[in-house]
Structure 1
Amino acid sequence: MSDTQWTVLGERVLDENRHIRLSTADIRLPDGVEFTQYVARMPRCAMTLVLNDSREVLLMYRHRWIIDQWVWELPGGYVDHAEDVASAASREVEEETGWRPRTMQHLVTYQPAIGTLDQPQEVYLARGADLTDTRPDINEAEAIRWVPLDEAVQMIDRGEIIGAATVVGVYRALTLP
């Protein structure tokens, strides 16, 4: 490992609200080159891969207007400021799908785009879920479906699943007993 580091000469906030902090940072590289980098910092997110006894995963079909595309995703969302991450992940499953996870186990933590974005993403594994009386929010999903894990992999190949959390979660689930 190298002891050589990039040096942050300063950072200027351009915009900030509860969803994002956008800034520019002036950076000096080890060789002396300096440049300005945009930096986005966003709150921690928690998603849940709910897996039933038939090795089916609970997915939501939703429109993502930023890319103007319909995709399948794991349920999840922002973690409230002082909220326990596993509790947030479980809460999001129930709010978005109407299913209550039976168990919650941390599966993986990752950063989706560490060159520009700081947004910790945590994926949890729930083994089994019970249908509740909670009606899923119409603004969250067009459809909710249990999908065989092998089919979810094929959906990634076909571009029907493209969100990083869902891709990471599905591939990680392939290694589970």
Structure 2
Amino acid sequence: MKRTQWKIHGEHLVDENRHIRLSTVDVELPDGVKFTQYVARMPHCAMTLVLNENREALLMYRHRFIIDKWVWELPGGYVDGAEDVAAAAAREVEEETGWRPRTMDHLVTYQPAIGTLDQPQEIYLARGADLTDTAPDINEAEDLRWVPLDEAIAMVGRGEIVGAATVVALYRALSLDV
């Protein structure tokens, strides 16, 4: 089977800051059709599915203004520079929730929207967590809750969990029967 790649004829920066690099790329398809595609590149992200001994997931309730909706999500955020990804994921859990994961095991790596966005996402599985003196970041979550894994899956179906990282993590955990 012959594989042909798209030809890239140039990339032009539209805007850039520490959270995103937005550009347009002039491309040509194998059949000769040419067009311009917007491309967004964002920093590496790390999230954690924290499960306690009762198979309950630690979820954060927050408002996402872009979709103007209150949703439940996993804790997570950007990896800082050369920071170890697992360490970044654990740091984000503690900063956002006040819980410190006991273990960190890689669960899955994925790209959320490869047609337009380059943003590597790594999800870790933490088995158990200890409550710390760190106060949860009030800018991150309105509420925190330990939710049974089966109930969290049902929340996806009801539209209460819509973020790709949380959906991917929950279904990956379910497939592995963690």
Same fold by TM-score greater than 0.5: yes
How many angstroms does 1:82 deviate by? Answer: 1.2
SS in 2 for 1:60: strand
How many angstroms does 1:2 deviate by? Answer: 3.6
* TM-score of the pair, normalised by structure 2: 0.98
* TM-score of the pair, normalised by structure 1: 0.98
Q: Which runs of 4+ in 1 moved over 6 A?
A: none
SS in 2 for 1:8: strand
User: What is the match of residue 167 of structure 1?
Assistant: 167
Confirm whether residue 176 of structure 1 aligns to residue 172 of structure 2: no
User: What is the match of residue 119 of structure 1?
Assistant: 119
- Identity within the alignment, %: 80
Q: What does the per-residue CA deviation read over 1:12-51, in whole Å, with 9 as the maximum and x for residues that have no partner?
A: 0000111000000000111111000000000000000001
Q: What letter corresponds to residue 55 of structure 1 in structure 2?
A: R
User: What is the match of residue 105 of structure 2?
Assistant: 105
Q: What letter corresponds to residue 93 of structure 1 in structure 2?
A: V
5+ residue gaps, structure 1, are: none
SS in 2 for 1:171: helix
SS in 1 for 2:154: helix
SS in 1 for 2:80: coil
**Aligned ranges for residues 16-165 of structure 1 at < 5 Å?**
16-165=16-165
Taking the aligned partners of 2:33 and 2:70, their CA distance within structure 1 comes to 42
Q: What does the per-residue CA deviation read over 1:72-109, in whole Å, with 9 as the maximum and x for residues that have no partner?
A: 00000001011110000000000000000000011000
Q: CA RMSD in A?
A: 0.7
